[in-house]
Amino acid sequence: MTEYRNEATLVEVIAVTGDTKSSKTILKNYDLYKVRKCIKFGEYNIGEADGVTTLPYYLAFMLGSDS
Provide the domain limits for residue 9.
2-62
pLDDT at 11 (0 to 100): 84
H/E element, 8 = strand 7-13
**Averaged confidence pLDDT in the chain:** 82
pLDDT in tens, 11-27: 888 766 556 567 888 88
| Residues 44, 55 contacting (CB under 8 angstroms) | yes
Task: With respect to residue 24, please indicate whether it lies within any of the assigned structural domains.
Answer: yes
Greater confidence (64 vs 56) lies with 56
Mean pLDDT of 34-38: 89
| Residues 36, 51 contacting (CB under 8 angstroms) | yes
Domain count, the chain: 1
% of the chain residues with pLDDT over 70? 84
Task: With respect to residue 26, please indicate whether it lies within any of the assigned structural domains.
Answer: yes
What is the C-alpha to C-alpha distance for residues 5 and 43, in angstroms, rounded to an integer?
24
Task: With respect to residue 32, please indicate whether it lies within any of the assigned structural domains.
Answer: yes
